[in-house]
Amino acid sequence: MLRWAKRIVGGLLLLAVVVSAPIIWVEGVCATSPTTKARPRALADDRGYARHESDSYLSFPEWHIVYAYEDLAGVLRRGDESDFAYGRQIVGFWSGLCTLTRVVTAREAVATDTKVMLYTIGWSFTAELGLKGAYEKTVGRLFEWLRGPGKTAEDSFVARDMQAYAAFLHQTPWYAYPFGPRLVAFWRGTPLRGEHLPRKLERRGLVTLEYGTKAVYGALIGYASATALGAADLEIHSVVVGLDAADLAREPQIKVVRALGDGRTLIRTPRYQAYSDLLVRLARQGRNVVEIAGNRRILVTVLAPKGPLPPLAGTTELFEVRIQSRPDRRRLGLDVAVEQLGAAIRTLEGAGATIEHIYDY
């Protein structure tokens, strides 16, 4: 009994070291102290207008997870699960969090609940991809070899559903995905008969375990989120210069709050990917945002071809990420002055880059 107790305690200590190592690294090496001057006064003082600047930059690690699944979906269009670089995605999450922690902590302190959320999703992502990678690179690869180059109906279903899941995550939290109904559709829509029975049975067992676990876990997370945090705020305020009646007719999502003078208008719009798409369309019409939720700087990611970017006023490149499923493109994280955002969008699109996401607060 004593021997087993020692083993259990040793295992728990090892687990604690493994779990705490990246957190200690981020807190000890990446975090710094605020050194910049106080930010300019916001252009509006409406209730609920101003938000923390750090919320823009520290929302990227969550989106890194979205992009990881998007990349996996791209790999599955041409290959198998064993081809995916799981380890690279895990390292990318923590290195991205380190870089952005360094940026935001030089400007303001980060709330404890934000840190807890980031470390929680970071370790959930690490555990999920670590387990998935370990399985797919060993047992999964063996069943791929037994199957041969042709895919089973189960393989094809997973590939299609991964694409749908990745698209879903652009606007909705992962735990809202209908894993239960999709599992039912999987069993109903993929015939058990056919060639490569070992692979078919292996995929059925794995998909049932994964989707079933996520259905239950997602329901619990969704309930806890709604209970503890309440409904998420789905709208954000911005100040735009030059907005006119034609813009409002083209963009029914825009709700005018009030005019601020000097051609500036305070507006309310949807958040998340819908907000990114809206700002890109406004930039193409020559409109410029000068402040978002009381902030003058914002994080933007672009999908750019190889080679240097054109000169961008008020912009600093923070990081670069390889995209396994799109080797002709790279993801660049840019720290952009809000008043230069419209001009940056127009310049980047003119150079062949795609504005991937503008990270609202």
Structure confidence by residue, pLDDT tens digits, 244-296? 999 999 999 999 999 999 999 999 999 988 999 999 999 999 999 999 999 99
* pLDDT at 224 (0 to 100): 76
Closest CA to 293 of 272, 257, 266: 266
CA dist., res. 73 & res. 126, Å (int)? 18
360, 292 Cβ separation under 8 angstroms: yes
Against a cut of 0.75, is the pTM above it?
A: yes
The distance in angstroms from the start CA to the end CA of the chain is 53
> How many of the other CB atoms lie within 10 Å of CB of 251?
16
* pLDDT at 36 (0 to 100): 65
Exposure pattern of 125-145 as b/e (b: 16+ CB <10 Å)? bbebbeebbeebeeebeebbe
Between 134-143, 152-161, 221-230, the lowest mean confidence (pLDDT) is in 221-230
Residue 99 confidence (pLDDT) above 60: yes
| Residue of 156 and 8 predicted with greater confidence | 156
And the tokens for 8? 């259990």
* pLDDT at 170 (0 to 100): 86
And the tokens for 266? 């305070």
Question: What is the residue-averaged pLDDT of the chain?
Answer: 91
Taking CA atoms, 114 is separated from 40, 226, 229, in Å, by: 24, 17, 12
Residues 345-356, mean pLDDT to the nearest whole number? 96
* pLDDT at 79 (0 to 100): 94
Closest CA to 357 of 324, 333, 321: 333
Residue 29 confidence (pLDDT) above 70: yes
Residue 5 confidence (pLDDT) above 90: no
Cβ neighbors of 358 (< 8 A, separation 6 or more) are 275, 276, 279, 280, 298, 299, 300, 341
Map the chain to HEC letters: CHHHHHHHHHHHHHHHHHHHHHHHHHHHHHCCCCCCCCCCCCCCCCCCCCCCCHHHHCCHHHHHHHHHHHHHHHHHHHCCHHHCCHHHHHHHHHHHHHHHHHHHHCCCCCCHHHHHHHHHHHHHHHHHHHHHHHHHHHHHHHHHHHHCCCCCHHHHHHHHHHHHHHHHCCCCCHHHCCHHHHHHHHHHHCCCCCCCHHHHHHHHHHHHHHHHHHHHHHHHHHHHHHHHHCCCCCEEEEEEECCCHHHHHHCCCCEEEEEEECCEEEEEEECHHHHHHHHHHHHHCCCEEEEECCECEEEEEEEECCCCCCCCCCEEEEEEEECCCCCCCEEEEEEEEHHHHHHHHHHHHHCCCEEEEECCC
Structure confidence by residue, pLDDT tens digits, 58-93? 999 999 999 999 999 999 999 999 999 999 999 999
